[in-house]
Amino acid sequence: MAFDISNATATEVLDSRGRPTLSVVVTLGDGTTAEAGVPSGASTGTREAVELRDGDPARYGGGGVLGAAHNVDGELNDLLAGRPWADLAEVDAAMCALDGTPNKARLGANAILGVSMAVARALAAADGVPLFEWLPPVASTRRLPVPCFNVLNGGAHAPNPLDFQEFMVCPLGAPTMREAVRAGAEVYQALRRRLVADGHDTGLGDEGGFAPNLAEPEDVLRLIVAAIGDAGYTPGVDGVAIALDPAASEFFVDGGYRVAGRLHSSSEMVARYAAMVDEFPIWSIEDGLGEQDPVGWKRLTGELGARVQLVGDDNFCTNPDIIAAAIGDGIANAALIKVNQIGTVTETLEAMRICHDAGYGQMVSHRSGETPDTFIADLAVATGCGQIKSGAPARGERVAKYNRLIRIAAERPGLRYGLAE
Ligand code: PGA
Ligand code: ZN
């Protein structure tokens, strides 16, 4: 059904790290209004769509987004207002065409994404259906995703000596969404008790996980396995398993991988992961190698792809073309899905469809810079991808997504919980 947009406007607001981002409000011709908060990353892939920042050192150290807001209020509003639109895909394609660059560098992926998300939300509201039922399915059924709780932070998200960025606990064996969130929160609290008992401080990283003064990933894994047990769960795929996002592009130096001060060749890094998978209940590794190392990625996939999920983030950038090429090359077996890496809802869904059709997993993801916006919770349910990561089960902007999933589960008792089949 065709629709009109009467107005799109953006405001510079703060994200969860105290850096500027956009809040975009779209009003449809029938008066329906919806808002969207734009996420922002720290460990970004080089081929991500461009987040437009002002570069004025006098404001927010150059990080202001007044120019991107201006592009929403000006060029994008002029494009959108006062003509009929067939659907969201047409709006997204028109915004990309107006931008005119391959990576949204002129108008800004932050500007374009904010409009895309707000239009989707407004159209769902106008239709009187929740966003998770308005967004098109990708898998054969909608489902409640396994939440991957980032309980311990390092890398670009914390000032500690830990090179690996994210250690996640994933309640694969939970019977329901509510029990999954409970398991994540209970393990998080058990981990806090362990850290205090061992004399570590319990300060948090950007995604709400603890950021203790630890350097070796195996030491962290030992602590987490113990915390899973303390909380009364079974470590492993029948209970609470572990997922890693080392974000290895960030510690790729001098042609190798520097972990706790020691340089590893790409093959040595793969061997270290293989040993970790042998010793610990790890079921998923994201960005185990850097985007600079496609040859290593192929080796990693060959050696571990049958045993664990290998998720491409920095190397894929939620980009349908890049993902399609990687599938052809046999790189990874899953993709991280971040709406702002590609910059429209339509292209995000296309990336997920390509993964689904190739049998690649999809993990919908927040960014380290977030707002209370819960779009990604609805996206994960709608597409039926079965996986989401939204940081720790703590801090408002992280739990907003998990709480949204609990509410969806309560509203739709027929929705199944768990990984896609
Ligand atoms: P980012 O980190 O949002 O800082 O890029 C998240 C990730 O690497 O998955
Ligand atoms: Zn990542």
pLDDT in tens, the chain (421 residues): 799 999 999 999 999 999 999 999 999 999 999 999 999 999 899 999 999 999 999 999 999 999 999 999 999 999 999 899 999 999 999 999 999 999 999 999 999 999 999 999 999 999 999 999 999 999 999 999 999 999 999 999 999 999 999 999 999 999 999 999 999 999 999 999 999 999 999 999 999 999 999 999 999 999 999 999 999 999 999 999 999 999 999 999 999 999 999 999 999 999 999 999 999 999 999 999 999 999 999 999 999 999 999 999 999 999 999 999 999 999 999 999 999 999 999 999 999 999 999 999 999 999 999 999 999 999 999 999 999 999 999 999 999 999 999 999 999 999 999 999 8
CB 214 within 8 A of CB 200: yes
SS3 31: coil
Looking at the DSSP assignment, which residues form a beta bridge with residue 258?
A: 263
* Nearest ligand, measured from the Cα of 313: 2
- Tell how far the Cα of 247 is from the centroid of ligand 2, in angstroms: 5
Please report the DSSP string for 91-106 in residue order: HHHHHHHHH-STTSTT
Q: Are strands 387-389 and 241-245 parallel, antiparallel or unpaired?
A: unpaired
Does ligand 1 lie within 6 Å of residue 313's CB atom?
yes
User: Strands across the sheet with 262-264, in order?
Assistant: 252-253, 256-259, 262-264
- Tell how far the Cα of 316 is from the centroid of ligand 1, in angstroms: 13
Does ligand 1 lie within 6 Å of residue 42's CB atom?
yes
Which of 369, 297, 372 lies closest to 340 in space, CA to CA?
Answer: 369
Q: Which atom of ligand 1 is nearest to the CA of 40?
A: 3
- Tell how far the Cα of 42 is from the centroid of ligand 2, in angstroms: 10
- Tell how far the Cα of 372 is from the centroid of ligand 2, in angstroms: 20
Backbone angles phi, psi at 129, to 5 degrees: -125, 150
* Nearest ligand, measured from the Cα of 338: 1
Residue 304, Cβ neighbours under 10 Å: how many? 20
Q: What is the rounded CA–CA span in Å between residue 277 and residue 170?
A: 15
Burial of 83 (0-12, 13-18, 19+ CB in 10 A): exposed
Tens of pLDDT, residues 30-43: 999 999 999 999 98
Q: Output the pLDDT for position 265.
A: 98
**Token duo for residue 209:** 């996980």
Q: Output the pLDDT for position 398.
A: 98
Q: Output the pLDDT for position 330.
A: 96
Residue 14, Cβ neighbours under 10 Å: how many? 13
HSE on the CB side for 377, CA within 13 Å? 22
- Tell how far the Cα of 283 is from the centroid of ligand 2, in angstroms: 15
**Ligand 1 atom 6 nearest Cα:** 367
CA 79, 83, 87, 93 torsion-angle sign: negative
CB 5 within 8 A of CB 305: no
Tell me the pTM. 0.98
Q: Output the pLDDT for position 1.
A: 77
Does ligand 1 lie within 6 Å of residue 341's CB atom?
no
Q: What is the rounded CA–CA span in Å between residue 390 and residue 147?
A: 8
* Nearest ligand, measured from the Cα of 206: 1
SS3 36: strand
Does ligand 1 lie within 6 Å of residue 291's CB atom?
no
Q: Output the pLDDT for position 273.
A: 98
Q: What is the rounded CA–CA span in Å between residue 361 and residue 272?
A: 23
Q: What is the rounded CA–CA span in Å between residue 339 and residue 121?
A: 14
Which of 168, 197, 171 lies closest to 182 in space, CA to CA?
Answer: 171
Q: What is the rounded CA–CA span in Å between residue 21 and residue 23?
A: 7
HSE on the CB side for 285, CA within 13 Å? 28
Q: Which atom of ligand 1 is nearest to the CA of 336?
A: 9
Does ligand 1 lie within 6 Å of residue 368's CB atom?
yes
Does ligand 1 lie within 6 Å of residue 365's CB atom?
yes
Does ligand 1 lie within 6 Å of residue 17's CB atom?
no
List the shell of residues around ion ligand 2, using CB closer than 5 Å: 245, 247, 287, 313
The residues annotated with a catalytic role in the active site are 207, 338
In the DSSP assignment, the letter for residue 74 is: I
Q: Output the pLDDT for position 114.
A: 99
Tens of pLDDT, residues 125-146: 999 999 999 999 999 999 999 9
Mean pLDDT (the chain, rounded)? 98
